[in-house]
Structure 1
Amino acid sequence: MAMLAMRGASSVDADAKQLVEEIEKFLASRPAKRPAIPAPAPASSKLELPSVDELIAQAGIVTGPAPRQKKTKDRGLPGGVWRILPDWALAARRSSRRDVTVTEHLQLTALVIQRYGWARGSLRTRSGRRCILGAQAVLYRLGYGDQDTAMAAGRVMDRILAARGIRCHYHEWNDHAGRTEGEVFYLLREAIGAASAAGP
């Protein structure tokens, strides 16, 4: 078991390193002055959500082909061992804590979900998918932002849901039966726009 844990730790370290590189690349690509995000169209009786690709593009997330990785039996398992190692293992990759704005925190939350997949009903599935709160935990463990930043981002999402007449917190909303990944990206896009308009 000790040997398996050591092998697993190196796989998690490599996977965390790749995620850190993606986050750093994203943060480096951010313009000094962020462009204004257009206001959402007025609500109609029939809500039409944009595709996940459109939401990612509107959020300003840069995507591209993932580095080639060795094939594993469980393709949805980043690093091949996330099902047996806890998220606190990510903290080993952290050299120091880096400040990010609430807007950047929300954008990076979307990036983590886009990379690992979205989950409903748990912070993390056995294959590594994350709910919104689970994606925020990844960022915290890697040292991007602090608890105050994550809580402020949560309050932005809660305000958007409250404006829609939804009386639960965003992490409870994430877990409702029938929730879709598209709805999650739509909420994140709205939150990014609201946080950006409010400023740092």
Structure 2
Amino acid sequence: MPTLTAPALTVDAASLVAGIEAYLADQAPRTAHPLVTKTTDQLIAEALAAPAIEPETGAPALTAPRRLWRIIPDWALVLTPARRLHGAGRPVTVTQHLELTALVIEQYGWHRGALRSRTGRRCILGAQAVLFRLGYGDEGTAIAAGRAMQNVLQRRGVEDAYPAWNDQPRRTLDEVLQLIREAANNTEEN
């Protein structure tokens, strides 16, 4: 089945993890003690040895993972710094899981026909697996995110399950990202 081509990807999984952490840090309330001289963002950036959040936009500077991290088996993702940092897992909301699923697809590249391509591109379900293996959220979060995407498809009159919908030959990256983001905007948390 055809896949989309993406620009050359040059950064390791630590960059993806740093981007996820920056996103999650931006979502969480700032709780640093007033006697701490550094901001929460500075402490997070130091701890992860990642670039600080851009002050003008407030968005993390994200880069894609190196080819090696994109093509290693998903089970090996448990060896990444995020999993070691957070142990069994870091809780994320369903909305965050969906937004991070879109981030993974944007960073790794999108694929249809299987969870992942030989070059590491991911379908929606494959992107969810990356998050789970990295320790962001749990099985319940991923299932709830899947239900949210399925609800969007049902409202559109689509009967296919979202993984089958992802794999249809006419499907585009834009449609996939639109589905994920629409589901994120329509979760009960919002």
Structure 1 length normalisation: TM-score?
Answer: 0.68
Q: Distance in 2 between matches of 1:161 and 1:62?
A: 29
Q: Distance in 2 between matches of 1:83 and 1:141?
A: 13
User: How far off its partner does 1:79 sit?
Assistant: 2.7
CA-based RMSD of the aligned residues comes to: 2.2
User: How far off its partner does 1:126 sit?
Assistant: 1.4
Match of 2:118 among 126, 130, 144: 126
Deviations 1:62-111 (CA, angstroms, capped at 9, x unpaired): 464638xxxxxxxxxx4333576311110112121100000000000001
Map 1:1-200 to 2 at 5 A: 15-30=12-27, 32=29, 62=59, 64=61, 66=63, 78-82=65-69, 85-93=72-80, 94-95=83-84, 96=87, 97-195=89-187, 198-199=188-189
Q: Distance in 2 between matches of 1:65 and 1:132?
A: 19
Identical pairs, percent: 54
* Cα distance change, pair 165–65 in 1 and its aligned pair in 2 (3 A): closer
Q: Which consecutive unaligned segments of at least 5 residues does structure 1 have?
A: 1-13, 33-60, 68-77
Q: Is the 8 A contact 1:26 1:62 kept in 2?
A: yes
Which amino acid is the alignment partner of residue 180 of structure 2?
L
Larger RCO, structure (CA 8 Å, separation 6 or more) = 1
Q: Is the 8 A contact 1:83 1:125 kept in 2?
A: no
3-state DSSP of counterpart to 1:199: coil
Q: Which consecutive unaligned segments of at least 5 residues does structure 2 have?
A: 1-10, 30-57
| Structure 1 stretches of at least 4 aligned residues deviating more than 6 Å after TM superposition | none
Q: Distance in 1 between matches of 2:140 and 2:112?
A: 24
Aligned length, in residue pairs: 147
